[in-house]
């Protein structure tokens, strides 16, 4: 099968990493996969995919709605003739317009709750696309599926659920739950509004000084703003900005506690990676997170506020037994989120659209 994956840009975000993982796994399974970035930015992800033998193309999209990018994409589609086109994030409208009258089925992964994934204007377009089967929306969890069917007036059968997956073989599960000094807390996520970095700053300000170190990994449009807030709060020794990494799994394994106090989420790839590493996890009970973790069994689910986060951190710090139980239960639950399983389900969906 020939599959074209289209995404705006392969930056270091959950949707982008999911697209990379799926693309690599499909190629490993013998499918011919073409990865298309609407923009021209080469990134660590594109370089990794190219190293793994994936054909990556860049369309050179300009800022805003770029009609010329649609024509370039249509030309590429007509030349390559994929069996299926799979889109991510706001690439959907570009792909649907580019493949008009070409009779190529489309799939679109909704990476967050539907109301947050697209702006109001795109939501109107998406409703048109989905209800006319110009692209099949895929939800990452039952919770996300509910937001899609409600917003777009679809039935559950029109919106399949396929869980995100990671290459769990890269994870090194923890076996030792003794704490470092200072306690190492890790957050992996883009510096953007939903990730709620302000909550982390406010929570750390409530904790005793010198006891904790919070490592922030990621990039994004709010990085400078968050860095300034940390400096103003006098927490530069407690909250460390590390940039991006090509070895997330090693960073997770070297940590004591994983946190993700997001305002909203779909099915975060970073949580799956933390589960596969057997880390004790504290995460907001939003979006599809409750479909991934069971409170007080495989993680601690909280409201996305500083008081709840600081209290959960202190609770986990106080009990090695609790940390181990949560981490090992999360590890067992992570088997549902393997890259191979994800690729199999998407392959089955693609095949069903070709019959």
Say if residue 325 is in the same domain as residue 343: no
Residues 48 and 16 sit within 8 Å (Cβ to Cβ):
no
Say if residue 89 is in the same domain as residue 196: no
pLDDT (0 to 100) of residue 327: 98
Say if residue 320 is in the same domain as residue 345: no
The CA distance from 94 to 81, in Å, is 16
Backbone φ and ψ for 113, nearest 5 degrees, come out as -60, 145
- Look up the pTM and report it: 0.88
pLDDT tens for the 355 residues of the chain, in order: 999 999 999 987 889 999 999 999 999 999 999 999 999 989 989 999 998 889 999 999 999 999 999 999 999 999 999 999 999 999 999 999 999 999 999 999 999 999 988 999 999 999 999 999 999 999 999 999 999 999 999 999 999 999 999 999 989 999 999 999 999 999 999 999 999 999 999 999 999 999 999 999 999 999 999 999 999 999 999 999 999 888 899 999 999 999 999 999 988 999 999 999 999 999 999 988 999 999 999 999 999 999 999 999 999 999 999 999 999 999 999 999 999 999 999 999 999 999 8
SS3 track for 60-118: CCCCCCCHHHHHHHHHHHHHHCCCEEEEECCHHHHHHHHCCCCCCCEEEEECCCHHHHC
Q: In the structure encoding, which two tokens stand for residue 23, read together?
A: 């693309």
Say if residue 35 is in the same domain as residue 161: yes
Burial 274-289 (b: 16+ CB within 10 A, else e): bbbbbbbbbbbbbbbb
Residues 159 and 149 sit within 8 Å (Cβ to Cβ):
yes
Domain holding 118, by residue range, is 2-165+338-354
| Closest alpha carbon to 105 in 64, 74, 134 | 134
Say if residue 161 is in the same domain as residue 179: no
∠ CA 234-236-238, nearest 5°, is: 100
E runs forming strands in the chain: 2-7, 32-37, 55-58, 84-88, 106-110, 136-139, 183-188, 212-217, 239-241, 257-260, 281-284, 300-302
Say if residue 133 is in the same domain as residue 208: no
Per the structure, how many domains does the chain have? Answer: 2
pLDDT (0 to 100) of residue 355: 85
pLDDT (0 to 100) of residue 318: 98
Looking at residue 294, which CATH number applies to its domain? Answer: 3.40.50.2000
Residue with tokens 């089955």: 348
Q: Is 221 helix (H, G, I), strand (E, B) or coil?
A: coil
């Amino acid at each position: 099968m020939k599959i074209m994956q289209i995404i705006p840009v392969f930056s270091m975000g959950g949707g982008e990493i999911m697209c990379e993982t799926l693309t690599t796994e499909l190629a490993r399974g013998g499918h011919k996969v073409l990865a298309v970035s609407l923009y021209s930015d080469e990134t660590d992800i594109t370089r990794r995919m190219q190293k793994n033998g994936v054909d990556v193309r860049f369309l050179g999209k300009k800022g805003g709605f770029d009609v010329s990018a649609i024509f370039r994409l249509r030309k590429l589609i007509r030349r390559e003739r994929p069996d299926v086109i799979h889109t991510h994030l706001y690439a959907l409208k570009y792909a649907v317009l580019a493949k008009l009258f070409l009779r190529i089925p489309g799939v679109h992964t909704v990476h967050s709750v539907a109301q947050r994934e697209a702006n109001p204007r795109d939501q109107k377009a998406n409703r048109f696309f989905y209800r006319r089967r110009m692209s099949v929306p895929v939800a990452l969890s039952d919770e996300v599926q509910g937001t899609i069917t409600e917003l777009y007036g679809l039935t559950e059968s029109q919106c399949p659920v396929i869980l995100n997956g990671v290459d769990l073989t890269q994870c090194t599960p923890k076996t030792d739950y003794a704490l470092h000094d200072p306690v190492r807390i890790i957050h992996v996520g883009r510096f953007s509004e939903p990730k709620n970095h302000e909550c982390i700053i406010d929570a750390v300000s409530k904790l005793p000084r010198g006891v904790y170190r919070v490592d922030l990994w990621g990039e994004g449009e709010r990085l400078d703003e968050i860095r300034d807030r940390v400096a103003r709060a006098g927490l530069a020794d407690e909250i460390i900005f590390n940039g991006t990494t090509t070895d997330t799994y090693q960073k997770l394994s070297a940590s004591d506690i994983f946190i993700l106090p997001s305002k909203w989420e779909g099915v975060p790839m970073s949580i799956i990676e933390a589960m596969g590493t057997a880390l004790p996890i504290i995460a907001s009970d939003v979006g599809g997170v409750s479909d991934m973790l069971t409170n007080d069994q495989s993680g601690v689910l909280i409201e996305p506020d500083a008081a709840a986060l600081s209290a959960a951190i202190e609770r986990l710090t106080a009990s090695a037994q609790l940390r181990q139980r949560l981490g090992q239960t999360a590890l067992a639950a992570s088997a549902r989120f393997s890259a191979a399983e994800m690729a199999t389900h998407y392959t089955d969906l693609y095949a069903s659209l070709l019959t």
